[in-house]
Amino acid sequence: MLPERSETTAEIKNLHDDWDVSPLRLAQRAPDGEICKWIRDRIIATLSGDDKYAANAMKNKLGDELADALDRKDEAYGAALLQLGADPANASSSYGSALMKALKSKNHDLLEELMQDGHIDPARVTLGSGSPLLHQLAADNDVKGLDIVLARYPGLVNQVAGEDDPATPLLTAVRRGATDAAQALLRHGADAAP
């Protein structure tokens, strides 16, 4: 169990070296702004460093922390994680990403918030199911989610699922019997031609 606040910079640095302890939670307990900056700098250096394994591990840790902040409804902590570059679509398999949690619960306010300031690029997001974001929304018959994404990214309405799967979101909706989603996609200009 972490102390409520740590008294010394050395104590914080020692706790930080134990990766079972979240770096940002340490920053919240730090006695001064200097140590918070040190922790943020360490995180940013890890993310941008040459060690791809460490960078991926840090990305997963930040994604896990973001999902955890969502569960705890800790908006300030979530905002700090997003400022550091936490990817809402990224988390280790044991947690589920913040984006997946928003989609599963159809939390459209959170979906909109995660899309603000480019935190989510729906053209590049592939979910745990292997589906692009729009395809998942179409499969789930999530009309409001489709409207949110397509209002910001109208050019993705005919996005194909991948190199090996030429299905568009409209075809995904039709295959799943998601008629409301299919109608929404057509309303947004989806190409109905095969």
The domain limits of the chain are 121-194
**Residue 83 backbone zone (phi > 0: left; psi -120 to 50: alpha; other: beta):** alpha
Give, for all 194 residues of the chain, the pLDDT tens digit. Answer: 333 444 445 554 554 454 445 555 555 555 555 555 666 677 777 777 787 777 777 777 788 878 888 877 877 777 777 777 778 887 765 456 788 888 888 888 888 887 776 777 777 777 766 778 899 899 999 999 999 999 988 998 999 887 788 889 999 999 999 999 999 999 999 998 85
pLDDT given at position 55 = 75
pLDDT given at position 56 = 76
13, 16, 17, 19: CA torsion to nearest 10: 180
List, as own/partner pairs, every contact residues 89-94 make where C-beta atoms lie below 8 angstroms and the sequence separation is at least 24, other chains included.
89/63, 89/120, 89/125, 89/126, 89/127, 89/133, 90/59, 90/60, 90/62, 90/63, 91/60, 91/63, 91/64, 91/66, 91/67, 92/60, 92/61, 92/63, 92/64, 93/128, 94/64
Query: Which of the following CATH numbers is that of domain 121-194: 3.30.2010, 3.40.50, 1.20.120, 1.25.40?
Result: 1.25.40
- What 3-state class would DSSP assign to 10? helix
Residue 98's closest CA among 69, 123, 125?
69
> Tokens 């009309």 map to which residue?
143
pLDDT given at position 180 = 97
Which DSSP string corresponds to 89-146? T---TTT--HHHHHHHTT-HHHHHHHHGGGS--TTT-B-TTS-BHHHHHHHTT-HHHH
Whether 99 contacts 77, CB under 8 Å: no
